[in-house]
Every structure is written in C-alpha cells, then in structure tokens.
Amino acid sequence: QDDQFKKVISHAKEYGYVFQSSEIYDGLSAVYDYAQNGAELKKNIRDYWWKAMVQMNENIVGIDAAIFMHPTTWKASGHVDAFNDPLIDNKDSKKRYRADVLIEDYCAKIEAKIEKEVKKAEKRFGDAFNKEEFVSTNGRVVGYQEKINSILSRMAKSLENEDLADVKALIEELEIADPLTGSKNWTDVKQFNLMFGTKLGASAESAMDLYLRPETAQGIFVNFLNVQKTSRLKIPFGIAQTGKAFRNEIVARQFIFRMREFEQMEMQFFIKPGTQKEWYDYWKEHRMKWHLSLGMGADNYRFHDHEKLAHYADAAADIEFKFPFGFKELEGIHSRTDFDLKAHEEHSGKKLQYFDHEDNASYTPYVLETSIGLDRMFLAVFSNSLQEEELENGTTRTVLKLPSVLAPVKAAILPLVKKDGLPEIAKQIVEELKWDFNVIYDEKDAVGRRYRRQDANGTPFCITVDHDSKEDGTVTIRHRDSMEQERVKIEDLRTIIKQEVDV
C-alpha cells in the first residue's frame, strides 16, 4: 500500500502533474502546485462537475464569490467559535499532533488485525468463506471490533462535551506513543482554530482582521437572496461554486489529500422546510451516480453515514473512496437545516427569506449541501488510474488509465520518422485537431518509446503518420488501454476522438 502511494507521488512529479510548492526552498508543508498536466486534469475535473451540476440542471446556477468575506460571516457560521481541532504536543519530541487522529490511527492498527484474521480465514476456507458471517461470529474479531467502537464512541463523546482532559486520559490509557520517537510524555489537549487570519487596510488603526475562507459555502449563503431575486428561481433551486479554501491543518500528510490551501466544489440546494429528508436521499444518490459515471469501479466507493453531526446538520453522509491508504472521505452530503441562513439573518439584521407564491407565505429555506474537494478528487482519479501491466512479451508497462474525458492531452500526433515530409503531415493534423482538443506533437525517440511515454502520461490516443499516409491519407490510431491499432482516414480523426472524450 505504502509502495503504491509512493509510486503515485513520484509519478505525479515525473510526469508534470503535481509539484511540491516552493520546492527550491525545500517546499512548504501541505502546499502543492499543479504542473502543466495537473492543471489540465484539475480543470477537466472541475468542468466535469460544473457541467453535471450547473449546465445539466435548469434550477442550479453558478457563482464565483470572493475569498475575503466580512469577518462577521465567520462569527455567524460558527467557525470563529467551533472550527477547532484538538491538539496535543509531545513534551520530548516537541512534535504536535491532532489528538483525535492519534486515537483514530490506533484504531486503524486494530482494524488491520481484523483484516489479517479475515485474510487468514479466507485462505483456509476458500470458496466457502463468508466474510460477514466470520466478522460477526469470530470471537477474536468481534472483540477487536468492540474495542474500536468503545474507543471511538468515548472520544466522540468527550470531544462533543469539550472534555479535553478525558481525550488525554484516553491517549494515556491506550499508551499511545509519539509515532516518530516512541515517547509517551504528552501535554494537555488544547483546541486550535483552523482559520488563517490576515489584515485588510493600510494603517494600523483602520486595519480590519479578516480570515481566508475555510469553505466556499458561506459565499453562497450571503448571496442567497441576491441570486434568487435576479435569477427569479423558485424553490427548490441550487447555487454552485468552485474555489479556493484555506485551513491551517495540523496533520499535514498524505500528499494532496489534506492541504492547507485547496479547492472545493460545493452546491447549496435551497428547499422547503420539511422536505429535507427527500432531498438528502436524492442528492446522496445523485452524487454517487456522478462518481460512478467516470467508470472507476463501484467497489471503490462507499457511503459513511455520520452518527455524530456537526452543529449545523440534521443528517450527513460521506462518499468515501478507496485511496491507496484506505477508504477515506471524498465528498460530504449535509442536510444543513436553516442554520446558516438564520444565523446570517441574526448577525446582519437582514431578512433572508423566500416568498412562496403557492403557499402565500414567507419562510427561511432549508439547505442541502454537496461538498467535494477538487484536489481529493484529483488524487482519487490519479491514484486509481496508475497501473503497471504485465504484457504478453514479458515486459511491463506503466499506464495512467485516466477517464478519457478528464485526460490532460487527448491525442499525441507522431510522425514515424523525422523526414520524408511526415512531420509536415503530423503538424497539419495538430493544426486541425487543436481547435477541439488539447493535442501534442512528438517526434523524439523511436515510436515504441513515444507510445510508452504517452501511456504513462494518460493520453488516450496516439496517432502515427507513416509513409502510407502520404499516399492514401490514412494514419494509425492506437488506443491507450487496449493498445489496439487501427488504420483510419485523417478526416475521420476528429469524430473518432470526439466519440470517446466527449461526455
């Protein structure tokens, strides 16, 4: 698993997808830059989401709100008071950790023991093995599971009651050690706010304290009435937005899974109070369908319904994806009630209500939210696509099987040799195709090596121009995944590529 994840990270760098930020200064932790291919892949994911949410839904519109917002926004949203992580320092190593993550990692180790037992039994019983039955009846496994449940529920309760002393007590009782040094010498647990602060204004007296937004959602809430009035949309309707968000995350690890500067794609759906359950189910199903439409395998997704709810929610679920380090949250679907709009009404003194002509009455709408991290989606797509394949001739090839609709480069145009007029024909094809697709020209190295380079880069098509092309106007088109090659007319290329890369 670790090996696979390391391969993902080094491939992302080697093929121009993701670089560490400010690398020449040894980088900045949990901050990354998207390189020439990464920027394209990220843009294509964003477009795929925008198309599905905004373009395909008559009753959803998109906005682009500012990152800076009036500071009272964050008081109203609860972020000033409640957007905290519980931190603990190790007195010997002086390293800082998230207390809840230390405890969760401890539980993950127990879970690994369960997996080991399951694997052993699977081997022993073969086809007759029934995993569910084994997990629910095997004494040792049941014991492990009970231990995990009791640890996690005690932690959740202590955090909810702000009983930080008990969180520390739990860490001590479990004898959790500093993962780096093994020391068990811990400080007390403290709450730490995740928002980045900054200042607006030139002079010291007039400067105003601001925060960089920790989520894009609030930019939608404060614009709710402006959008509703100018769009004349009737409830139910949605407002979507993509954009940067900032969190001073303490556990900065797992590459672009958890970043300090990241991008969200959020949609707030405004509904009539009382209909939230129906819309919650609708959006859960709809968002899962969106993920499955990319063809990355249904087994890689699962729902995780929350028992412990955030202060604003009456129901919440995550769509989890199987990352190289296990199933983790990719997207959240939250039934946020009227918490946000009511809070903004209270803090701003302005009404944020909707007049329902059918009912002849005004009300504060309820909100259903879908929130996905663009960078996490990038990691899901990229890590799932990177594969090593054994070929018939005994060699292996590295291939990045990106969904074609998301691939940064759709086709590489390759002259077989650098002479006899073949480069001219290839360049002419590039000139024609570039109006519709991102294509590249490549003449360096033997054609076999160029194919491998494009496989590793995730390019779905290679188009090779050879001597016959001069005679009959045909070229060879090679498919990345099957490696099959066909002879086609140059004038048909556009249609062939379009069929595969268009949604």
Annotated binding site for ATP: 247-249, 257-262, 329-330, 373-376
Helix (H) or strand (E) holding 391: none
Which lies closer to ligand ATP via its Cβ, residue 200 or residue 309?
Answer: 309
Annotated binding site: 98, 215, 247-249, 257-266, 329-330, 369-376
CB atoms within 10 A of CB 408: 24
> How far is 273 from 338, CA to CA, in rounded Å?
8
Which lies closer to ligand ATP via its Cβ, residue 339 or residue 451?
Answer: 339
Which lies closer to ligand ATP via its Cβ, residue 243 or residue 458?
Answer: 243
Residue 104 CB, shortest distance to ligand ATP, in Å, is: 10
Which lies closer to ligand ATP via its Cβ, residue 222 or residue 333?
Answer: 333
> How far is 410 from 44, CA to CA, in rounded Å?
12
Phi and psi at residue 281, in whole multiples of 5°? -65, -40
Residue 153 CB, shortest distance to ligand ATP, in Å, is: 18
Report the 3 state secondary structure along 100-165.
Answer: HHHHHHHHHHHHHHHHHHHHHHHHHHHHHCCHHHHHHHCHHHHHHHHHHHHHHHHHHHHHHCCCHH
Residue 276 CB, shortest distance to ligand ATP, in Å, is: 17
Sign of CA dihedral 281, 285, 286, 287: positive
Residue 250 CB, shortest distance to ligand ATP, in Å, is: 10
Q: Which residue is nearest to ligand ATP (CB)?
A: 373
Which residues bind to ligand ATP, rule: CB under 6 A?
A: 215, 247, 249, 258-259, 262, 264, 329-332, 371-373, 375-376
Which lies closer to ligand ATP via its Cβ, residue 228 or residue 371?
Answer: 371
Strands 474-479 and 461-465: antiparallel
Alpha helix (H) ranges present in 1-138? 2-14, 36-50, 72-76, 79-82, 99-125, 131-137
Amino acid at 82: A
> How far is 412 from 299, CA to CA, in rounded Å?
32
Annotated binding site for substrate: 98, 215, 262-266, 369-373
313 touches 350 (CB < 8 A): no
Residue 111 CB, shortest distance to ligand ATP, in Å, is: 17
Which lies closer to ligand ATP via its Cβ, residue 312 or residue 354?
Answer: 312
Pick the closest to residue 370 from 249, 288, 298 (CA basis): 288
463 touches 493 (CB < 8 A): yes
Residue 218 CB, shortest distance to ligand ATP, in Å, is: 12
385 touches 295 (CB < 8 A): no
Residue 251 CB, shortest distance to ligand ATP, in Å, is: 9
Which lies closer to ligand ATP via its Cβ, residue 338 or residue 375?
Answer: 375
